[in-house]
Structure 1
């Protein structure tokens, strides 16, 4: 028994109950207003309260002091502590921490004063509905849901609480803002390449060529150094990327944490050779030396911010008046999509495409790009029609089983 005794006190004609307990060698009393003037009712309420407190004390004893403390903390504080711990332990990328902090503000709005142990599925459901009602996208609400679920599950894992109420709530179905892959078709590619040919070499025009000819991500291109390029062997190595965190941009591992090599087409290799000659002059004018650790898109100070690259390309693409297959001005990331759809439509194998793109597995490449090219779809329809109209003997020859 955690509470040694219980009793009633009458004050101003109303009853309140008290429970006595011993802690650190000293006696303490816990009091609660019972809200009744009837002694019989007060005794009943006191008995119920004592049973609840005994049960809670038993739960707290099993949890231990650390878990009990967490259970009684406000949900929003638990979220902040979780993010800070992840940041301190470097469990996730700085860019992910930045996203967590942006998402946490929505959790604090609703759960700044609700103890973790009192959180219910109904509260979570109402909160997510309110976010949707405010006009937040399904993607943003989904991020809120996932962060809260992770934090609460962490509490379950250390037995601060018994179950995760967020698991009982289904987040809103994510709707794509832009449906489909907005790659450049043959006409769009020709228009972009013709325009680039007429322009001077700049970090943005060079980066656009790299993306179109290799399928690399913005951050990976910004992270390329000259020692990552072997122009004679026509090979490029992706060894790092530039990410963006709370304190600004930083170097990080490639997305799949693996170094990968990409073959360079002759056109791109020649372009990079010309760009290196131009950079040597630019560096010399700044009193610096271009060496292997210099960034391909950078200057004497350091690397180029991927966000700056994205904005530079957006201005360029708008000026070109080019549109992708979805009818939108292509983003820099759409140049990566362009390489993938072009390569696969031209008969390239999926495994090589996945390797170039830095996908964790071939299934990811197939899910995103297998049927993204409209020309490839039309060609599939044409081949189907030709095969359907062949007579039996012709089909055998068509399949290579005769003659």
Structure 2
């Protein structure tokens, strides 16, 4: 039968109820001691003891059975860890608990879990096994971010296995969480000179989806998935406002439409330079659509393209493709950010945010533009990211002294 789930049985006569009662102890998923009690029908102590022992045995047998099977009769405790996690991800994705893009990230993490725990059943994994695995990942120079993601996924899945009585306790509860971080520390935004040079290079290029996307990221601070999800009906040239109402995620089956980050639409006022760029691009794109025997409509994607001759709706631009095309362009430009690296597409968003903070825009407004869940996140990320601001602070301190 293996380790018992219920122990320390005790029997007593309840004077208030005038009934015999029994109690057994167990530990919950957090390792805390709990109790399960029953009121017995037997009148005498010997009969009550027999009834209580039978109830205890039935309760233990049910717990042991639950440890081996889920409601569908599929073995849990003997399921290999990576296979169980794959089932866990599929269930969360099908029920809408996680987005397909999150599911894709989980599956990438599960590849590393599978390599480490190939053919290892859930019931046999120990805390020391996880600690050694994390140490090996560190030795192989994987990024702290990746290691942390793998750890969190394994802990979530094992927590569910605990809740389903497949194991008594989560072995990761006693394993210290890896430090989260990134090999490329710091915000690699463009400083004032870099911003001017980047805009000069962009101005010299013919407008294309990647060029327009870069303008949007720099001037409006949008994420790549937000840029790809932008439709023409979201751009109000009369009120000079741009709305972020949807995003394009990357899941197991490819790109798909999803709500924006934090499920909250937001509006951003467009500066004249961005508005002028978008007006010119709209006319260029209208011509491109006409050549494909399609019409540019409100639900056409700003950097999208026609689906085909029989469907006038425009298809979105794939975020992964945007990242790759921008990387090629950044290498061609050769401009580097404050961390000395070529700017990624997301660094253009960082550039927009640091420029706003350095220019004196209040943190709450910057947070709203970026779509952060709270201003503290914006403050912690960008308040000290601009080197010019740091130099200015040094001058002010010297002046005060």
Q: TM-score range by the shorter chain?
A: 0.7 to 0.9
Which of residues 370, 377, 382 in structure 1 aligns to 2:383?
A: 370
Q: Distance in 1 between matches of 2:133 and 2:373?
A: 35
2:339 aligned partner: 326
2:86 aligned partner: 80
Structure-1-length-normalised TM-score: 0.79
In the alignment, does 2:113 pair up with 1:107? Answer: yes
Q: Distance in 1 between matches of 2:152 and 2:58?
A: 31
1:312 aligned partner: 325
- RMSD, aligned CA: 2.2
Query: In the TM superposition, what is the alpha-carbon distance from 1:58 to its structure 2 partner?
Result: 6.5
- Conserved? CA contact 2:143–2:182, under 8 Å: no
Structure 2, unpaired ranges of 5+: 3-55, 70-74, 308-314
Q: Deviations over 1:229-260 (max 9, x none)?
A: 00111000000011111111111111111100
Query: In the TM superposition, what is the alpha-carbon distance from 1:153 to its structure 2 partner?
Result: 0.4
Q: Distance in 1 between matches of 2:113 and 2:316?
A: 35
Q: Distance in 1 between matches of 2:400 and 2:145?
A: 44
SS in 2 for 1:256: helix
Q: Distance in 1 between matches of 2:57 and 2:288?
A: 71
Query: In the TM superposition, what is the alpha-carbon distance from 1:190 to its structure 2 partner?
Result: 1.0
2:392 aligned partner: 379
1:1-400 alignment runs, 5 A limit:
59-62=60-63, 64-65=65-66, 68=69, 69-301=75-307, 302-388=315-401
Q: Distance in 1 between matches of 2:347 and 2:137?
A: 30
Query: In the TM superposition, what is the alpha-carbon distance from 1:127 to its structure 2 partner?
Result: 2.4
Q: Distance in 2 between matches of 1:175 and 1:57?
A: 49
Query: In the TM superposition, what is the alpha-carbon distance from 1:166 to its structure 2 partner?
Result: 1.0
Q: Distance in 2 between matches of 1:157 and 1:108?
A: 22
Query: In the TM superposition, what is the alpha-carbon distance from 1:385 to its structure 2 partner?
Result: 2.5
Structure-2-length-normalised TM-score: 0.79
2:24 aligned partner: none
Q: Deviations over 1:135-179 (max 9, x none)?
A: 433322222211110011012223332211112112433442112
Query: In the TM superposition, what is the alpha-carbon distance from 1:66 to its structure 2 partner?
Result: 6.6
Aligned pairs, how many? Answer: 336
Larger radius of gyration: 1
Q: Deviations over 1:167-221 (max 9, x none)?
A: 2112433442112111111111111111122221111111111111110001100
Moved over 6 A (4+): 55-58
Q: Deviations over 1:26-73 (max 9, x none)?
A: xxxxxxxxxxxxxxxxxxxxxxxxxxxxx9996442355476442233
Q: Deviations over 1:283-319 (max 9, x none)?
A: 1111000010000001112111112112222222222
- Conserved? CA contact 1:183–1:335, under 8 Å: yes
Q: Deviations over 1:368-403 (max 9, x none)?
A: 000000111111222222233xxxxxxxxxxxxxxx
The 3 A distance-change label for structure 1 pair 86 and 193 is: same
Structure 1, unpaired ranges of 5+: 3-54, 389-403
Query: In the TM superposition, what is the alpha-carbon distance from 1:74 to its structure 2 partner?
Result: 2.8
The 3 A distance-change label for structure 1 pair 178 and 106 is: closer
